[in-house]
Amino acid sequence: MEAGIKFKTVSEYFSSFPESTREILEVLRSTIKQEAPNAQEVISYNMPAFKANSVLVYYAAHQGHIGFYPTSTPIGVFKQELTAYKFSKGAIQFPIDKPLPVDLIRRMVKFRVQQDSEKAGKKK
């Protein structure tokens, strides 16, 4: 990815990477879409994100890994299952040379959809 590019669409973001990276991003994208079918795809902080009432998750390709940003709560909830990965309060790094943990990602997205829905319900 070239520095300084401001992406307007997810397709534009994807097209800035080699095919092997795009394939991984597509797997992640379709996994998120399956669990959050009503969420809107957006570019936020210059990376792809899925938004319902608020942003559910962000993701991005980096040198050597795919960054997945589901916010801090799911990282705490799923912490025991994340021990094989580098992670912090708000980010998880999935090595680019290993298969994505699709089932774990699916459950984290499902958790975020539920959390977002409950939070939106309280605002009404």
Mean pLDDT, all residues of the chain: 93
pLDDT computed for residue 119 by the predictor: 86
Q: Which phi and psi angles does 57 have, rounded to 5°? A: -150, 155
Question: Is the pTM for the entire model greater than 0.85?
Answer: yes
Q: Give the H/E segment covering residue 111.
A: helix 102-123
Beta bridge partners of 43: 48
- 28 SS3 class: helix
How does pLDDT run across 22-78, given as a tens digit for each residue? 999 999 999 999 999 999 999 999 999 999 999 999 999 999 999 999 999 999 999
Asked if residue 1 has pLDDT above 80, the reply is: no
pLDDT computed for residue 120 by the predictor: 81
Helix axes 19-35, 102-123, angle to 10 degrees: 50
DSSP conformation letters of 33-73: HHH-TTPEEEEETTEEEEESSSEEEEEEEETTEEEEE--HH
- 25 SS3 class: helix
